[in-house]
Structure 1
């Protein structure tokens, strides 16, 4: 293991806390991956809810401990639901995360992503192209995903190297990581530590699953099994992380 020992030990403790507290995460999620994300949250020990109905999304967001907003499949109804749910999260001081999927493809999607970011989410998570086009997001924990995930808040930066190439061949692994970050934020007020814990859990589970897989098809099922079986000591033994200030 390399990197910041305190962050790794905290990540291991947070995994245990998620399982003890079983936070409820409401997911306004890409419709392509809803089941995968719900199953992954449940495997780790959280409780997912997924409705995007404007008639009931406020009630579900109110009951949730955290909210994840994913722009993967976006239409006017989903935009309305997102606005309603994020207003609940803000007024109730619940943690929430924005995943601005494909905001670099569409001007209207980019404008909506910027609208959400201006309203003050806890975390912004995207790939390099998405994060570059969005630009500044003051006061928000920014997570740039890739072969190495980079987390930046103010002058603090954490880099996480755990993960496996099979993750890029299974639709929804990135969406699930956003939902896991929400679950960890529900039990840890420090956003940087919570997100670090979630990404270590996801990345290490992926490495364990890949050892038991012959390709992306078998990996998908093995990944869920690995999340369910992941132990705090697995995080301590396998974390590859570095931390810097300045």
Structure 2
């Protein structure tokens, strides 16, 4: 389900780490400030709550600095990029950097909108610890196809972790490469599943000083919760609440059983 090629650093026990970080999130109740798109706000908040974190969601420019400074991590999602979000995002990024808080960029649909792509590049200059995107979004940002080699090169040159999500999630810091195969096709039929899952990535980066490992652990948690939820769901309408229930009840032992490294 998960494969981690050999590297200069010892191979991690990813399921064990995922369970540990999930337990810490529940104990410490870390807050993630999520500037996310209108379609994703409710599900993002519910996913964070189910995992044990605390969400805040304001996109008001006059408030975003205060909320970001009081959070453990920041998520910047470029969906529904209206005037308020365009103004608030640079302020939030600057605040996260000033307070040494990790922040994650989710460049939604940058391949569709040249102005959004330009804005995404300006956000990248703020040095996110993680760039979470799909293959089309990566190709637009990097100017080349999303092959493992190009993704690793981009991560290395930008000093960030790239989490390329899809049927198989690829996570790299430019040196190490982790593939996550957990998940279920029903996840693709629920609006904002990827956007909301990125909030858990942000939460885990605040708990673990290695962004590659934190990102892979968060994606593993989301994928396994999706697999469990799909067992009792006949379609996307049943799947979404089942996913939140699965995430809420997920424990380290289940992660070890479902997330063995191969």
Retained in 2: the 8 A contact 1:163–1:204?
yes
1:237 aligns with 2:237: no
Residue 170 of structure 1, CA deviation: 0.3
Q: Deviations over 1:143-175 (max 9, x none)?
A: 111000000102110000000111100001101
Retained in 1: the 8 A contact 2:32–2:55?
yes
**Misfit runs of 4+, over 2 Å:** 1-5
Retained in 1: the 8 A contact 2:2–2:179?
no
Aligned to 2:207: 187
TM-score normalised per structure 1? 0.95
Unaligned 5+ runs, structure 2: 5-11, 143-153
Aligned to 2:229: 209
1: CA distance between counterparts of 2:63 and 2:84?
Answer: 13
1: CA distance between counterparts of 2:105 and 2:133?
Answer: 9
Retained in 2: the 8 A contact 1:15–1:197?
no
Q: 1:15 aligns with which of 12, 22, 34?
A: 22
Q: SS of the counterpart of 1:80?
A: helix
Aligned to 2:185: 165
Q: 1:117 aligns with which of 124, 128, 141?
A: 124
Map 1:1-246 onto structure 2 (within 5 A).
3=3, 6-135=13-142, 136-137=154-155, 138-239=158-259, 241=261
Alignment: residue pair count = 242
Residue 82 of structure 1, CA deviation: 0.4
Change (3 A) 1:62 1:208: same
1: CA distance between counterparts of 2:252 and 2:16?
Answer: 8
Residue 240 of structure 1, CA deviation: 5.3
Relative to structure 2, which stretch is displaced further, 30-39 or 3-12? 3-12
Q: SS of the counterpart of 2:61?
A: coil
Retained in 1: the 8 A contact 2:130–2:211?
yes
Q: SS of the counterpart of 1:84?
A: helix
